[in-house]
Amino acid sequence: MDEPLGTSGSAADGSLDLDLLASSLQADDGDVRVLLRALVTRLAGALGNRLEVERTGRFRKSEEIRRVSIRLGDDQLDAVVDRGALECTVSRSSGGIRIRSTRVSLDEWLRQLLGALRDEAATTQATRMALESLVIGGSS
């Protein structure tokens, strides 16, 4: 099957099919909190302090995630749980100053996140392993 490589590629050439991954992440997730927990679990080691997680609850360590913020290059991707739905935004900074913030669908947010991870994975082994664990569903 001949198709240009972009956000999707064929399994035969070893590239990651990000459209399929984004769809499967949503299909496997009836609950947005489960999706966020899976992303945080698999990406925490690779992203380190570029991943910020805000959990619900004041005094006890809660498993429920209220907000996820991911910094990748000049982009910041935020997902906030609001009444059981995710509100997603992608922000662009230049020189440390936020110049644009756009509200996007969950599908677009996942595509941008996975695309940025794919680009970084080309040069960073830890990110590559985290992205592969998302694709194949292994534990990290």
- Give per-residue pLDDT as tens, 128-137: 777 777 766 6
pLDDT at 85: 82
Q: Which residue range(s) make up the domain with 49? A: 16-134
Q: What's the pLDDT score for residue 22?
A: 56
Residue recorded with tokens 């459209």: 19
Residue 37 belongs to some domain of the structure: yes
24 lies in some domain: yes
- Bridge-based pairing of strands 97-104 and 75-82 is unpaired
Residue 121 lies in a domain: yes
pLDDT at 5 over 70: no
Residue type for position 125:
Q
In a domain, 22, yes or no: yes
| Number of domains making up the chain | 1
Q: What is the pLDDT of residue 70?
A: 95
pTM over the 0.75 mark: no
User: Can you give the C-alpha Rg of the chain in angstroms?
Assistant: 15
Separation of alpha carbons 113 and 83, rounded Å? 23
Residue 67 within a domain: yes
Within a 13 Å sphere around the CA of 24, how many CA atoms are in the beta-carbon half?
A: 12
**DSSP β-bridge partners for residue 79:** 68, 88
Q: Which residues contact 43 (CB under 8 A, 6 or more apart)?
A: 51, 70, 117, 130, 134
From the number of C-beta atoms within 10 Å of its C-beta (0-12, 13-18, 19+), residue 21 rates as: buried
Q: Could you give the residue ranges of the DSSP H alpha helices within the chain?
A: 18-27, 32-47, 106-121, 125-136
Average pLDDT over residues 55-80: 85
Work out the widest C-alpha separation in the chain, in whole angstroms. Answer: 55
The answer to which of 20-29, 65-74, 101-110 has the lowest mean pLDDT is: 20-29
> What tens digit of pLDDT does each residue of 11-63 get?
333 344 555 555 555 544 457 777 788 888 888 888 899 999 998 876 666 77
Bigger pLDDT: 97 or 79? 79
User: Does position 6 have pLDDT exceeding 50, yes or no?
Assistant: no
pLDDT in tens, 106-128: 889 988 988 888 888 777 787 77
Residue 8 forms part of a structural domain: no
Q: Let me know if residue 98 belongs to a domain.
A: yes
Let me know if residue 3 belongs to a domain.
no
